[in-house]
Amino acid sequence: MVELMRAGRMMGVNDIRCVEAPIPEIGENQILVKTVMASICGSDLHVVCHGAGIGHALPCPHGYPGHEGIGEVVASNHRGVAIGTRVLCFPFAGGAEGFSEYQRMDGKYVLPLPRCGVPEEQLLMAQQLGTIIYAARQRPVDVVGRTVVVLGQGSAGLFWAYWLKRNGAANLIVADKSDARLAVSRSFGADHTINVGEVDIHEAVRELTGHGPDYLVEAVGRRETLFQSIELVRPGGDLLWFGLPDTDDSVPISFSKFFRKKLTASSTFGAQDEADAVSFQLALDLIAGEHIDVSPLLSHVYPIEQIDTAFAVANDPTPEGALKVSVTF
């Protein structure tokens, strides 16, 4: 008899459901993880809710595109990962199965969870924090004593606020349309908050900075905020386009303004294949060592049977005051 598991499955754009599926078998160097909890990433929203970057024919494979998870290794063909190990999972989204009760992946895409006083579900946040640390290390900008703006205060934007303040930003300004997220921003390092649903962000940033920030991180991943980033940063400033766009189409920007303002912009990808998973390990150490309190992020947790509701709330978080939305098994 085939053993079955519960799994989220994307049937179409803006259509993800909990279904039953066979527990997958593992291949060479792979492990099988019994998932405890998985979180919804902003890039997952772009795939499921907007149809951007879908890497498979519909309906998609079970568990796709979930790639932020914690669980226990129940089978292993990887010499470095023992059965029974509790792990943080960070596979590439294209082949990920994180919204499944059992997920398989190459054993190099996990790290053992440290034994500490922090609840395991909080250690799950190390996946998102690890991607921020990786991006900051790959595209370093000296922010000591400088003015910085972070667009978006979802989990990525909040972690950017924490990391930039930790590394010396003197005047940290964050923007979002959710009062719930902005309320948490202060504890993550923000000096000023802007609710873009209530005030004009261009005027607000000018009032706070004069000529614009020295450095701006776009952590939303929408066409309009990518366009805004060029408008907001000061001449000669730096941009990091961290948020994955919500479309596969070309995103229009004013290259003339970019050129004449003498801006420098960058992006990065591929934290999962960093040697020794250094950034994810550092993220785990920071959370386990209680250098950062991620408990406010666990605002909305749904059983896997309600994965459709979880995605609906994550895609429109403001009415519910959601910060990070997760599913549990």
- The two tokens of residue 151 are 């667009």
To the question of pTM greater than 0.85 for the whole model, the response is: yes
Task: Determine the average pLDDT of the residues in 134-142.
Answer: 97
Is it the case that residue 1 has pLDDT exceeding 70? no
Residues 175 and 223 both lie in one domain: yes
Quote the domain boundaries for residue 313. Answer: 4-127+271-328
Residues 199 and 314 both lie in one domain: no
> Does a structural domain hold residue 133?
no
Q: Could you tell me the CATH number of the domain that includes residue 36?
A: 3.90.180.10
Task: Determine the average pLDDT of the residues in 172-195.
Answer: 97
Neighbours of 3 (CB within 10 A): 7
Residues 200 and 150 both lie in one domain: yes
pLDDT at residue 252 in the model? 83
Of the candidates 216, 245, 266, which is a domain's last residue? 266
Give 94-135 pLDDT, tens digit per residue. 999 999 999 999 999 999 999 999 999 999 999 999 999 999
Range with lowest mean pLDDT among 203-212, 249-258, 316-325 = 249-258
Compute the distance between CA of residue 18 and CA of residue 84 in angstroms, rounded to an integer.
26
> Does a structural domain hold residue 233?
yes
Compute the distance between CA of residue 129 and CA of residue 292 in angstroms, rounded to an integer.
10
